[in-house]
Amino acid sequence: MKAIGKRKLGNSGLEVSALGLGCMGMSWSYGPPKDKNEMIVLLRAAVERGVTFFDTAEVYGQNEELVGEALAPFKGQVVIATKFGWAPGPNDTDRWSVINSRPEHIRKVVEGSLKRLRVDAIGLYYQHRVDPGVPIEDVAGAVKDLIQEGKVKHLGLSEAGANTIRRAHAVQPVTALQSEYSLWYREPEREIIPVLEELGIGFVPFSPLGKGFLTGKIDENTTLDSTDFRNSVPRFSPENRRANQALVDLLNSIAERKSATSGQIALAWLLAQKSWIIPIPGTTKLNRLEENINAAALELTPADLSEIEIAASKIIIKGARYPESAERMTGL
């Protein structure tokens, strides 16, 4: 395996591995929770292979406990990012039903995350979704207080709009924005990436492999587990999967030439966009982890990137990336 390399999140000075590891799917969302001991082995294998950036959230089931236990031996060597802003209900059906970023709620839930993660300070603390009922200045101010108290090191935002980012950054410098970005969701290029560049904020794309679709392992005939949240995603309907296969075909054609996989091309494309972009592909399998890590050493030439750009511009992606109710919670 080649060395994964490091990158800095904008002007913050926070340096992490060029690719992080999204941990959500280990505990929730992509079918039933995976075996805890197997996931601990995987998380520790990621550290051994140079990954130093791990992503979780309060609302991802038992994920913070898992990540905390797995990474406890590596205290000081890794950066764990987690998120606040949802008030988790007692079961999956209402997991995302109540949004809450009131300062007193933030102060309360940070204690639980610190305990579950087994850390003295949270490396990067994201607001999971913008709360329309709480001024972003109050949210940034609450995290600023936690930073001054030594409980948090850096502030992040997730799926926030350009104006919200500016307003938060004026109160407490934002280290990173986490939002969906990949070859099949390029909306951040219009307003978000220019603002991040201007303000010196890093970008952490989630779903950099299109929730698995860009790996080429899912087609119109794939049956997803009944507990897999992608069943509710319009973009994953069989007819839309069939239409969107054209993008995977494009990636496969480049991959063949590069002796790579379509997923590696998708990740290499993201890394080539900006030096302060750090994708966080998720996986529960060691071979996929190694495949993703090797993408960091894959170089796409200007000619490769131009070819991808021209071909991708002719492909119209079909289907919304979220159900309408979830999409309303983004970009405020």
The Cα 208–Cα 180 span in angstroms is 7
Which regions of the chain does DSSP assign to beta strands (E)? 6-8, 15-17, 21-22, 53-55, 79-84, 124-127, 155-158, 174-180, 202-206
Is residue 175 within 8 A of residue 124, CB to CB? The reply is yes
The Cα 99–Cα 331 span in angstroms is 14
Helix axes 63-71, 36-48, angle to 10 degrees: 50
Which regions of 116-236 does DSSP assign to beta strands (E)? 124-127, 155-158, 174-180, 202-206
Tell me the pairing of strands 21-22 and 53-55.
parallel
Residue numbers annotated as active site: 60
Q: How far, CA to CA in Å, does 169 sit from each of 13, 137, 156, 293?
A: 16, 9, 10, 31
The Cα 84–Cα 105 span in angstroms is 9
The Cα 141–Cα 145 span in angstroms is 6
